Structure 1
Amino acid sequence: MPSLKEIKTRIASVNNTRKITSAMKMVASSKLHHAQVAIENMLPYENMLEHILKTFLVATPDADTPFDVERPVKRVALLVFSSNSSLCGGFNGNIIKTFQNVVNDYLEQGIAKENIIVYPIGRKIAEKVAKMGLQAAGTFPELADKPNSETCRKIAAEIEKLWLDEQIDKVEMIYHHFKSAGTQILTRKTYLPIDLEEELNADKERDLSSNIVTKKAQEYLKTHGKDSSKKENEVVLPLNDNFLVEPDLKTVLTSLVPKLLHLMVYTALLDSNASEHAARMVAMQTATDNADELLRGLNLEYNKSRQAAITSELLDIVGGSVNN
């Protein structure tokens, strides 16, 4: 049995660890709130662009653009979103595992390593790309911490140029879709060639109102209703859909679709950023709960050892007095 001093030292150590995990959970909660606000600020633009494109598609179902042409896949580009730091549960591990599976799939199809270009958003995935010996089209660690629309636009423009010059035949994105603070969905999505119908009808369900991470609490909110549901049901103000398109629809679509592609990159980045903070908050909450459980056990063990020591001393005293 460990001595009282050893148990006391361990209790102090666990207490210090608990303070750190609790503080990290609060920091992650604050960052998650800012990430949710960033997504919410982006939604009006997304809804308006979606409305315009849907209107054009309904007016001319056979409309096509240079970005929806399917070609035999010989060269591939991958946009992969991870974090810069760890301590966020399985967030980075899931991304890296999916990325490896995607790369292996392409290698089995006969695509050489040098024909796979990776855009690694985040330090963790950049390190994995370097270990695998794949070609990285730059490093973007700053984006994982501070999402920036202009940098996303430059990445999207670079990929679009490669696509139009036929230097790549397919582009995929791998990221976590932020559904709620307790649920992040690992997503693998085709970026190019773009399917406008599929992209405009994609799952955009998000709960941006709560930092609740436990399933029981989320179920309670669903059962008793929440004010955030009003926001989810809101739609953009109706537009006058009798558009006069000049010079022609194809030219306008060719201008609008790159904006949608830029928005896809930026949305994926915001989703990944919010998912990282949510995953870290869950991980730190779990670590704090485990520390609390460990402290309860250690305090019980300390009290038992202390009581045993006191009993032993009393017995020595009583035994000595009897002998005298």
Structure 2
Amino acid sequence: MAESLEALRSRVDSAVDLQAVVRTMKAMSASGITQYENAVSALDGYFETVEQGLVACLKQTELLHNAAKSGEHVPVAVIVFGSDQGLVGQFNDTLAEFVQQKLTDITGEKKIWVVGERMYGHLQDADLALEHCFNVPGSVDGVTPLVGELLLATEHLWETGEQSPLYLFHQRPGKLSGQYKPRMHQLLPLDLRWQKALQEQVWTGPSLPETLGSTGLTLRALVREYLFVSLYQTCAESLASENSSRLVAMQRAEKNIEEMLAGLQHEYHHQRQEAIDEELFDLVAGFGE
């Protein structure tokens, strides 16, 4: 049975309203991608400064021999960056599967911190022991406080002076729009190969670097900054991937709405014309009588 003109008009109006919402969300996602990508780029210069500081320290001291501890009961810090909003496709699902797969290859007592309620739910359903759930930042301004909370939450693992392993899991943007790929990054320990590569870097300045005060204290401060920048970049990349996924979903939704709206408007005008024709026929018939 054909819908009434009033029902069709109502469906057309609803589709138009939904189209406006989708366009707004699409614009917000596009803006989000730009701001998080810019945040990552802006940190490149600071990261180079921190790295140069590490080079200066390591040129004046022996390599750190506090290698990671090993064993089934050794604490292993794991931070997973997910999403706590919808309309992101398989963003959380693919990352959760990746985390479960990779964690089986990591030995030790795993302590898992999760960013994003939806990701927390996925990992909880997989019977993983989770330490805490953090809210996903709503803007670039919220990334720094989150990174500070993550450092505070995990720093007790290094109170003994030994570097327990630290693994980061997140979605990383792909080359094309809407593409992302799960990534595992082992941030700690600062292995000897990494330290030696820094120590062997050629200093570009006119004189050899020299640290003031305690080299050990300076080195620990720089390592903390290294951790901060790495966590910040990881979080920003995850948020850029999330917004990219949402942008593609909104583009797909916008196309579907346009097709549905075109069909509804065609049906509405067709039925409206039929109603007008019927009224004209009735008038003509009545005039003839």
- After TM superposition, the score normalised by the length of structure 1 is 0.68
Report deviation, 1:85: 1.8
Q: CA deviation at 1:281?
A: 2.7
The answer for unaligned runs of 5 or more in structure 1 is: 202-237
Report the residue type matching 1:35 in the other structure. Y
Q: What is the deviation of 1:175?
A: 0.9
Q: Is 1:147 the equivalent of 2:142?
A: yes
Residue 114 of structure 2 corresponds to residue 120 of structure 1:
yes
Q: CA deviation at 1:6?
A: 2.6
Equivalence for 1:99: 99
Q: Per the alignment, do residues 50 and 169 of structure 1 end up closer, same or farther by CA in structure 2, a change over 3 Å counting?
A: closer
Shift of residue 166, structure 1, vs aligned partner = 8.9
Aligned to 1:188: 184
1:200-241 Cα shifts (integer Å, max 9, x gaps): x9xxxxxxxxxxxxxxxxxxxxxxxxxxxxxxxxxxxx5456
Deviation at 1:133, TM superposition (A): 4.5
Deviation of 1:246 after TM superposition, in Å, equals 7.0
How many residue pairs match? The answer is 279
Tell me which amino acid in the other structure corresponds to 2:121.
Answer: E
1:213-292 matched pairs, under 5 angstroms: 239-240=205-206, 242-244=208-210, 253-292=219-258
Q: SS of 2:142's equivalent?
A: coil
Alignment of 1:1-324 (within 5 A): 1-53=2-54, 63-66=63-66, 68-69=67-68, 71-72=70-71, 74=73, 75-103=75-103, 105=104, 115-141=109-135, 143=137, 146-149=141-144, 151-156=146-151, 158-163=153-158, 165=160, 170-178=165-173, 182=177, 183-195=179-191, 239-240=205-206, 242-244=208-210, 253-311=219-277
**Residues 244 and 166 (structure 1), Cα distance of their counterparts in 2 relative to 1, 3 Å cut:** closer
**Is the partner of 1:139 in helix, strand or coil?**
strand
One-letter code aligned to 1:46: F
Matched to 2:180, the amino acid is: Q
Find the residue that maps to 1:2 and give its secondary structure.
coil
Gaps of 5+ in 2: 198-203
Q: In 2 relative to 1, CA 245–167 (structure 1 residues): closer, same or farther, beyond 3 Å? A: closer
- Give the Cα–Cα distance (whole angstroms) in 2 for the partners of residues 20 and 175 of structure 1: 28
What letter is aligned with 1:279?
A: S
Work out whether residues 116 and 134 of structure 1, in 8 Å CA contact, stay in contact via their aligned partners in 2.
no
Instruction: Compute the TM-score of the two structures, normalised by the length of structure 2.
Output: 0.74
- Which whole-Å CA distance do the structure 2 matches of 1:293 and 1:97 have between them? 35
CA RMSD of aligned residues (A): 4.0
